[in-house]
Amino acid sequence: MKIYLKIWRQATPDQSGQFADYTLSEVSPSMSFLEMLDVLNEQLIHQGEDPIAFDHDCREGICGSCSLMINGQAHGPKHHTTSCQLYMRHFVDGQRVVIEPWRAKAFPVVKDLMVDRSALDRIIQVGGYISNKTGSAPEANAILVAQENAEQAFDYATCIGCGACVAACPNASASLFTAAKIAHLSLLPQGQIEGHQRVSVMTKQMAAEGFGDCSNHGECEAVCPKGISIAAIARMRRDYWQGLL
């Protein structure tokens, strides 16, 4: 396959960036998207050019590092798929592919396709945990949890914090991320003790980081690689207002 690439290049956070054009002539359909970028970087290094910086880690779709906007879609065209699990067979010979970093005020560009997503970490740090003493691991049936609640909590806990929801949202809102982190704790008995305090401090931190507000576009759910429902945002808002009563 021959693939024409248009990739955002930005040397430092303070410098302005621009798109650069590249061509790869021997792309295997069985390559992952990141493997294709590896091949391009090998080519650039061989030519004495600066390789393209991009985030990656596990390459198994579970760490959330591979934050790429591909042809205007967060993580690319494949539904419920991270960039590292996207394969070149999902593209066609001769296709032009535009690759950009996440675009959000709270995600400043570090270099090329890498952005600083530590704002999400700070949201977790203020309340995305349980601080009450819960003792050692209890016997499995000691605390009864409704099956529906257990399943929903697990679904929300699958959030990998990639930031695709922020990148896709026209308001650059982190509401889906924050709501998922709140919901997977608030649905379980151990997390309900600090529930109102948690939703208050985490939403306050979300706003302080410069993320926009949710206006129910639904783009976040559409691009989430784990398919997390925007029902989490409704739950977060409900818990927030109940905490004010």
> Same domain, yes or no, for 106 and 130?
no
Q: Is the pLDDT of residue 162 over 90?
A: yes
- Percentage of residues in the chain having pLDDT higher than 90: 90
Alpha-carbon 223 to chain mean position: 9
181: left (phi over 0), alpha (psi -120 to 50) or beta: alpha
- Write down which residue in 58, 88, 110 finishes a domain: 110
> Same domain, yes or no, for 41 and 149?
no
What's this model's pTM, rounded to 2 decimal places? 0.93
**What distance in Å separates the CA atoms of residue 159 and residue 224, rounded to the nearest whole number?**
8
**What distance in Å separates the CA atoms of residue 179 and residue 190, rounded to the nearest whole number?**
17
Q: Helix or strand or coil: residue 18?
A: strand
> Same domain, yes or no, for 224 and 124?
yes
> Same domain, yes or no, for 69 and 175?
no
- Write down which residue in 63, 79, 110 finishes a domain: 110
> Same domain, yes or no, for 143 and 229?
yes
Number of domains comprising the chain: 2
Tens digit of each residue's pLDDT (9 = 90 or more) over 4-47: 999 999 999 999 999 999 999 999 999 999 999 999 999 999 99
> Same domain, yes or no, for 44 and 78?
yes
> Same domain, yes or no, for 125 and 236?
yes
pLDDT of residue 136: 78
Rounded average pLDDT over 67-85? 96
> Same domain, yes or no, for 150 and 105?
no
Q: Helix or strand or coil: residue 24?
A: strand
Tens digit of each residue's pLDDT (9 = 90 or more) over 84-138: 999 999 999 999 999 999 999 999 999 999 999 999 999 999 999 988 776 777 7
Question: Domain residues for 223?
Answer: 117-244
Q: Helix or strand or coil: residue 167?
A: helix
Going by pLDDT thresholds of 50, 70 and 90, the confidence category of residue 195 is very high
Residues with Cβ within 8 Å of residue 231, at least 6 apart in sequence: none
pLDDT of residue 134: 67
- Indicate which CATH number applies to the domain containing 100: 3.10.20.30
> Same domain, yes or no, for 142 and 77?
no
> Same domain, yes or no, for 71 and 178?
no
**What distance in Å separates the CA atoms of residue 197 and residue 202, rounded to the nearest whole number?**
9
> Same domain, yes or no, for 21 and 101?
yes
Query: Contact at 8 Å (CB) between 67 and 86?
Result: no
Rounded average pLDDT over 195-206? 96
> Same domain, yes or no, for 127 and 236?
yes
- Write down which residue in 82, 110, 138 finishes a domain: 110
